Chains A and B, each alone.
Chain A
């Protein structure tokens, strides 16, 4: 049993089990990225998904977010929603990037900086 600063009492999570899970997933990520042949999109989805699960495990059990008050969870969730909006907006810029926009020629770059 653990007693936090706020006086809440909760059963100690199995920290070593979470550690082995994180370690196993890290090894799995490296193996998938290095040896498993798959398309780039699928690879990105799988690896980012695994990283997200690992990050969630750290936040819930190591940072004790699972045992904190709901109000704190809402505060943190709102931040994550804002971060997600930023990433989606950036990805949108890339996905809907107009191909008609041309990059300036390389030789024009130094004079443009002056």
Chain B
């Protein structure tokens, strides 16, 4: 079979590489997952006779800083992809490392926030309805970030081994899609849970 036939097989119906299409379909299912969580939050919040003011329980400035970290990591991720698309492998590796480090910092701040809330403030998941929905929603998001950091580390190691080229960088693009999605979800969660 010649190269042209391979190229045709490579493109499915929607004209995207199979792995990238798979990642998008996965992200679509994740949209519904987080919509369910946010929907549950709306039902519980507006159905409850009393609801605490989030800023009086939660540390909004600290979380705003965490949002800043996640936005920064999204920028470094997209710059890594831009670098590999331009054939600049050195910059790609640097930006991937930066994304890993910033993502880990986000998790560190979240662990610190949880520790402070549970140990110092005695604000636990079983304390109230707000506590339950807060830890469930942000906990699931944190788990997604954790998985993202693991995947990002894997891609970074492969990048240092010279696995990616200007013509073949699907791994970087796909993990980037996942990472930006995690950032996008946090943008919504930060507003809905911490600010409103």
Contacts and interface: CB of A to CB of B under 8 A. Distances in A.
A80 B195 contact: no
B132 interface: no
Nearest to B86: A2
A103 B79 CA distance: 53
Contacts of A103: 49
B150 interface: no
A6 interface: yes
Given A34-B55, A43-B196, A87-B39, A55 B15 contact: no
Interface string A75-95: 110011011001100110110
Contact of A55 (B28, B78, B85, B188): B188
Nearest to A59: B184
B135 interface: no
- The size bracket of the interface on A is 35 or more
Interface in B176-196: 176-177, 180-181, 183-184, 187-188, 190-192, 195-196
A18 B49 CA distance: 40
Interface of A: 1-6, 12, 15-16, 18-19, 22-23, 26-27, 29-30, 33-34, 43-44, 47-48, 50-51, 54-55, 58-59, 61-63, 68-69, 71-72, 75-76, 79-80, 82-83, 86-87, 90-91, 93-94, 97, 103
16 contacts: A1-B86, A5-B170, A16-B75, A29-B195, A48-B191, A55-B188, A59-B180, A61-B78, A62-B78, A63-B180, A75-B14, A82-B32, A83-B35, A86-B39, A87-B35, A90-B39
